[in-house]
Amino acid sequence: MTRALGCIVAVVMVMGCTERSTDQDPPRRAQVSSAKRDAKRPPIVGEREIATARDRLHPAPEPREPRVFSVVGTVRRLDGGVAIAARDTLPAMQWIETGADGHIVFDFPQDGRVEIEPQTRFAVGEDRPMQILLASGAVHAVLVPIGNAPRSPMRIATPSSTSEITGSGDIFVRTSPDGADTTTVVLLGEISMHTGTREATERPAITRVHAGQSYASGSHHRVALSGTLTGLPQGEVQESGQVTLAALRAARSRVRNMCEATRDVASVSTVAATQLEEALTMAESNLALQRTLDESHQGLSRRDPRRAMGMMGQIAGQAQRVARDRQYVLSLWEEISAYGGCAPLGWQARFLPLRERVRTIIGSD
């Protein structure tokens, strides 16, 4: 009897445990299914995540000011004579001079490296992301290849010409102490030389110079002495052969003083201002005509699509003329700006009234 009662009690206890276990199972299943539902729900996005996504879609523009990599010897700003040190940034349009023992290397954010030789006066330009104004002395510039990614060209502007590296290249540019002559040697790659002149077809004079070639050009000084406004000499392309950078650096100018006053500044100023004024007048006229054509095309697109299609050739031709004007005005302005590095203080004031007109035409990259 006792054994039977014990068995009955054991069976009841087992059944009770089973019932409790059965009663507790649904909440556990509910918890699991609730966790699955929570996993499917989109996470709550906070301000930090929103800011990160916004930065990826609209990244902040890269800094345009180059940063100094190294400095050797005397390198100072002309305005106040403040010395330049490594890791400094170089603001635009601040003229800098290297002494007889001075040498400075700086990098642009777009993978461009510039080495300034001794006895050189230069400034970082403000009209293009990678622009150097070389008034006197020598510069070694390198633009490394980065594949097919878009990038602004590097431009080395002197009083007589502008050397433009569009893709990648390695060049050495030397300007005479008075800015009257410039020689550009292409060590690697291919560059475009802009001389601030027009061809007979009103196209800007642009010369392609390849590796192993050099280009010599004259300045506005020659134009002033000749009394003509037709532009500068076309320049001369020569075979430089396998010249080395060390040989180029060793062949320094015989004249040691930078910015020698051997130019008739008044005559150069008059000629340059007249040439720029004529270029701006033509560019403004072509730009106004382009805007008129664009407005007419938009109106015809609604009323007469066939006539609107017929205007496309005229619009494209006018756009090409505006682009040529922009390149021509930019080359002229670069030469004038580079010339100003050695010119008297009144030089900049002479062209200041034209500054806003130039900006309207050349725009920005």
Q: What is the pLDDT of residue 123?
A: 95
**154 and 286: one domain?**
no
Q: What is the pLDDT of residue 98?
A: 94
**91 and 49: one domain?**
no
Is 225 or 311 the better-scoring residue by pLDDT? 311
**235 and 333: one domain?**
no
**What pTM was estimated for this model as a whole?**
0.74
Check whether 102 has a pLDDT greater than 90.
Answer: yes
pLDDT in tens, 11-28: 555 555 544 444 454 555
Closest CA to 342 of 176, 75, 136: 136
The mean pLDDT of the chain is 78
pLDDT confidence band for 59 (50 / 70 / 90): low
Q: What is the pLDDT of residue 247?
A: 72
The boundaries of the domain holding residue 276 are 265-362
**102 and 221: one domain?**
yes
One-letter amino acid at 75 equals V
Residues 6 or more apart from 118 whose CB is under 8 A from it? 73, 98, 99, 100, 101, 102, 103, 137, 252
pLDDT confidence band for 340 (50 / 70 / 90): confident
- Report d(CA 89, CA 65) in Å as an integer: 6
Category of 119 on φ-ψ map: left (φ > 0), alpha (ψ -120 to 50) or beta? left
Highest mean pLDDT among 60-69, 130-139, 260-269: 130-139
**156 and 227: one domain?**
yes
Q: What is the pLDDT averaged over residues 66-90?
A: 92
Task: Answer yes or no: is 218 within a domain.
Answer: yes
Domain containing 172 — which CATH number?
2.60.120.1440
- Report d(CA 84, CA 97) in Å as an integer: 10
Torsion (CA) 194, 268, 272, 183 in degrees, nearest 10: 10
Check whether 199 has a pLDDT greater than 90.
Answer: no
